[in-house]
Structure 1
Amino acid sequence: MTEPAFLETPQGRRIAYHMTKGNGPCIVFLGGLKSDMQGTKAVHLEDWAKSRGQAFLRFDYSGHGESSGTFEEGCIGDWAEDTLAAVTALAEGPLVVVGSSMGGWQALLLARAIPARIAGMVTIAAAPDFTEDGYWASFTDAQKQDLETVGHVELPSDYMEPYIISKRMIEDGRTRLVLRQHLSLPFPVRCLQGTDDTAVSTETALRLLEHAECPDMRLTLVKGADHRFSDGPSLALIEAAVADVLNGAD
């Protein structure tokens, strides 16, 4: 396994990354909450990009993988800063952003931050605004009290160890919401969503589709696919979606 390189961000965080030089637009993979750049989708897509001679960037947010910090200290805004720092320092020219789960929210935040650089986007079980619409909306009164007194809530996960959700994550998330104001995506967008996803609902995918202002946006619902979206057929669908967006970005 190749050792990662590291980037020091303007905020003083140390971000681990793998950058493959090649033709543009550069494909940037944005992982999900508590995922890292060694995940099946990220590595598979990197190999696919290399086979095409396409530039590709994957990295770990702070508090994830081999980057500095701890997950419990982080929040959506920190990871948005990491993303912007990584693409600014490491990737040249237009970008095709591929966001998985929380990475889908990050992709939308990146498009809001640097719209002129985004040539296209693919989302996989995108989870925009999940701190508010998923976590906060489902918290009991006791959990909301724990946020105030303990500073965090521990939530079980179907896919890994429990999540520690901090008060800072909830409060910061409210300043990053994208489904409550105008959302312009003036480039090709392809959204993939599994019907058996227990972490992100098809309703979320439909809400994003309906809310965004986009001239070329398509949602593909995959019967039986779960949140991982990393089996052979799912990976083939991701490849096809990225290729479609790249063709539209030419």
Structure 2
Amino acid sequence: MLLPDLAYFDPGDGRRIAICHRLPADPARPTLVFLPGYASDMTGSKAVAVDAFAGATGCGCLRLDYSGTGASGGEFADGTLARWLEEVLAAIDRLVDGRVILIGSSMGGWIALLAALRLGNRVSALVGIAAAPDFTDWGFSPEDKIRLLQDGRLERPDPDSNTPFVTHRGFWQSGEALRILGGPIAIDCPVRLLHGEHDQVVPVGVPLKLLAQLRSADVQLTLVKGGGHRLSEPRELDALFRSLAPLVELP
């Protein structure tokens, strides 16, 4: 299955946002919008697999790199949750016709939830892969938060990578302003949450709380035995596509 070529779009202020955009085979088919995690990009194995799945099922697919990441322009230190959410909404508004299915990995799951709240009926379903809403809150100790405010950045080891996990004050403050787990979440479309049993980044309690807070009556949580945070092994991708296949057939 051939993947779309790299292209760029400007959300309106000169930013150069990298995208890969596959059009649906039929206008009635949805477009899958894949949203990467923090400091990740659209060339990861899950993103590419979702694009190939879209091609095989006649769906559209939109992948993008947030500003300051991957092939997009800008500095990573300038990235905030609000800025990246704005880029996602602009891309959907300008590039996609018809309904969308939002698929978010880790932080991308948080952005998917925020986007769904703003897009309303355009979103026919949402899939969270190790979704990490509100991680600027539960993911940092009080000491970490003080250091972020005082020093402007925080560097910590990443359990899934040899590259340190760097957080900048602007991103953290933006995330704190966009927390959603404190009350009911007014999303009514079907939601599927996929989470690893041994995820060391996002505790299993997070998707359980998300399941309880979502207003939708059609929310399912799949706990993958032995799975970690990345959920990119073949059997884990199979679990993702088993959840996704019925969603692309929704009217």
TM range (shorter): over 0.9
> Matched residue of 2:148: which SS?
helix
> Cα distance 1:144–1:50, how it changes in 2: closer, same or farther (>3 A)?
closer
Match of 1:198 among 184, 197, 200: 200
- RMSD over aligned Cα, in angstroms? 1.4
> Matched residue of 1:207: which SS?
helix
Q: Which residue of 1 aligns with 2:82?
A: 77
Q: CA deviation at 1:187?
A: 1.1
1:148 maps to amino acid: L
2:147 maps to amino acid: D
Q: CA deviation at 1:181?
A: 3.3
Distance in 2, matches of 1:98 and 1:149, equals 35
Q: How many residues in Structure 1 have an aligned counterpart in Structure 2?
A: 245
Q: Which residue of 2 aligns with 1:87?
A: 92
1:1-250, aligned counterparts within 5 Å? 3-22=5-24, 23=26, 24-135=29-140, 138-140=141-143, 143-160=144-161, 161-247=163-249, 249-250=250-251
Distance in 2, matches of 1:144 and 1:52, equals 44
Distance in 2, matches of 1:114 and 1:60, equals 20
Q: CA deviation at 1:11?
A: 3.8
> Matched residue of 1:237: which SS?
helix
Runs of 5+ unmatched residues, structure 1: none
Distance in 1, matches of 2:95 and 2:72, equals 16
1:156 maps to amino acid: P
Cα deviation digits, residues 33-88 of structure 1 (max 9, x gap)? 11110000010111111111111111101111001112222111111011101111
> Matched residue of 1:174: which SS?
helix
1:151 maps to amino acid: G
Q: CA deviation at 1:2?
A: 6.0
Distance in 2, matches of 1:35 and 1:213, equals 29
149-158 or 189-198, larger mean C-alpha shift:
149-158
2:159 maps to amino acid: D
Distance in 2, matches of 1:144 and 1:211, equals 25
208-217 or 156-165, larger mean C-alpha shift:
156-165
> Matched residue of 1:42: which SS?
helix
Distance in 1, matches of 2:132 and 2:13, equals 25
Q: CA deviation at 1:182?
A: 2.9
Distance in 1, matches of 2:38 and 2:64, equals 13
> Cα distance 1:51–1:164, how it changes in 2: closer, same or farther (>3 A)?
same
Q: CA deviation at 1:145?
A: 4.0
> Cα distance 1:144–1:214, how it changes in 2: closer, same or farther (>3 A)?
closer
Q: CA deviation at 1:16?
A: 0.3
1:150 maps to amino acid: D
Cα deviation digits, residues 154-201 of structure 1 (max 9, x gap)? 121112311221121121112211112331221111110001111111
Normalising to structure 2: TM-score of the pair? 0.93
Runs of 5+ unmatched residues, structure 2: none
Identity of aligned residues (%): 37
Do the aligned partners of 1:37 and 1:43 also contact (CA within 8 Å) in 2? yes
Do the aligned partners of 1:122 and 1:245 also contact (CA within 8 Å) in 2? no
Distance in 1, matches of 2:174 and 2:86, equals 13
Moved over 6 A (4+): none
Distance in 2, matches of 1:155 and 1:53, equals 42
Cα deviation digits, residues 78-105 of structure 1 (max 9, x gap)? 1101110111111111101111100100
1:83 maps to amino acid: V
Normalising to structure 1: TM-score of the pair? 0.93
